[in-house]
Structures are given as C-alpha cells and as structure tokens.
Amino acid sequence: MKLRVPGGVLGILLLASTVQARTWVAGQDAPSIAGCLQLAQPGDTVEVPSGEWRESLIIDKSITLSGKGGVVDGGGQGTVIRISAPGARVENLTIQ
C-alpha cells in the first residue's frame, strides 16, 4: 500500500515541526538569570544585561548565555557557572 501526501500538506507538516530559538532576557522575562535558564529550551539564548547579577548558575541545556555588559558575581562562594550540557556556550560575560 502506498501513501501519497500532497506537497502542500507535507510543507505544512514540516513548517509546523520547526521550532524557532528564543532569546530570554534576565530581569525582563524572569527576575534572574537562573529563572531565564529554567525557561530556556535547547537552542535558546539567555541574555545578561548590564549590571551585577549575584547568582550561581547551572547550565544543563545546550543554550547560549550571552553577556550584554552584565557581570555574574558568585559572591566568592564556590563555582559561579557550572555547565553540564554539551553544546552550551558562555560568551561576552564577566564572571567573578
């Protein structure tokens, strides 16, 4: 038995299955960087705006953490950013 799918239907199915990456902004989409990391899905970007963010972070998804002038300050307590996901990236961010 052959199944024939019209091209238009196939195109709609492919389009519906395409997921677009989203950018989450700390302080805007969630009150903290950690909150944005919880909301983010693989492939998304979490932006860290200017200012000092006193947090310790765990990145457990393949996301990009991108600094826009922000500083992540762990308060001198242990690891500031722990990455456990392959493909995760941290860029343009000051970590202290």
* pLDDT score recorded for residue 4: 55
Q: Rounded CA gap, 59 and 40, in Å?
A: 10
What token pair was written down for 88? 């995760």
* Backbone region of residue 15 per phi and psi (left: phi > 0; alpha: psi in -120 to 50; beta: other values): alpha
Q: What's the DSSP call for residue 30?
A: B
- 10-residue stretch averages of pLDDT, the chain, 96 residues long: 48 56 97 98 97 97 96 94 96 94
Identity at 77, one-letter amino acid code: Q
